[in-house]
């Protein structure tokens, strides 16, 4: 079923590996700054998508929108209708771990969540959404090669940006969760169900307990280390 209700692309327009920032303008920035000969394949609902090459490898980049429902729709359609094998979320996160600071990179080995997304599978227990080790291993090597600070571990994919309970993050912190974002769990669940690969590569954009934060423009264009790590990983597949 292509085009889909949300992606106006034809078969073959989208590469086997897709980078997915939440912000479609970040997708446009990545395509224009890093890809050779990028061609736009989607603008439906303003969710921009582009395909080009990086180091000779075909790579696509497309926005996912915010939250599990949004990335759940786009990643499902990419995996099931466009033959995509690998999706790497390139997004921002708020630090929960006090050793993490703005600009640090986190590879989400697993994704805790308060989302109901997993309930659709009617499992007889609690499923732990995890990344694909093949992508995690390659991305970690790229981060180390760049000499960047790296943290690997559990993140929280939260359905609430403004939480009415101000003790929530402290409780996740006690369990060793590194940071909070909004999409990784749904991506990992879709990948697991489809038998595909997924990884969230995150940059700390704000610190929950210190109040330090970046601007919207900085989040859109400044975190190029994360983008380069994802692109180098994609070209190494």
**Closest alpha carbon to 186 in 90, 70, 48, 81:** 70
CA pair distance 184, 92, nearest whole angstrom: 11
Cα 138 from chain centre: 16
C-alpha distances out from residue 72 to 69, 181, 183, Å: 5, 14, 8
CA pair distance 128, 192, nearest whole angstrom: 10
Question: DSSP letter at 10?
Answer: -
CA pair distance 58, 208, nearest whole angstrom: 37
Q: Is 206 a catalytic residue?
A: yes
> Cis peptide leading into 189, omega within 30 of 0?
no
Where would I find the H helices in 59-155?
Answer: 68-81, 133-145
Cα 145 from chain centre: 21
The catalytic residue positions are 206
């Amino acid at each position: 079923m292509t085009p889909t209700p949300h992606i106006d692309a034809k078969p073959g327009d989208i590469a086997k590996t897709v980078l997915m920032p939440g912000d479609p303008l970040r997708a446009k920035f990545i395509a224009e700054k890093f890809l050779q000969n990028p061609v736009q394949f989607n603008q439906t609902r303003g969710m921009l998508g582009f395909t080009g090459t990086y180091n000779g490898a075909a790579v696509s980049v497309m926005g996912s929108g915010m939250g599990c429902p949004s990335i759940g729709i786009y990643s499902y359609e990419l995996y099931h209708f466009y033959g995509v094998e690998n999706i790497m979320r390139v997004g921002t996160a708020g630090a929960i771990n006090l050793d993490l600071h703005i600009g640090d990179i986190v590879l989400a080995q697993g994704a805790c969540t308060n989302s109901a997304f997993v309930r659709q599978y009617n499992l007889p227990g609690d499923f732990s959404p995890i990344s694909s080790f093949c992508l995690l291993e390659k991305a970690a090597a790229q981060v180390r090669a760049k000499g960047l600070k790296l943290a690997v571990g559990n993140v929280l994919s939260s359905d609430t940006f403004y939480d009415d309970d101000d003790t929530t993050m402290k409780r996740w912190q006690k369990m060793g969760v590194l940071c909070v974002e909004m999409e990784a769990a749904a991506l990992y669940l879709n990948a697991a169900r489809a038998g595909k690969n997924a990884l969230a590569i995150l940059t700390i954009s704000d610190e929950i307990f210190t109040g330090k934060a970046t601007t919207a423009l900085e989040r859109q264009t400044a975190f190029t280390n994360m983008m380069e790590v994802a692109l180098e990983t994609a070209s190494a597949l």
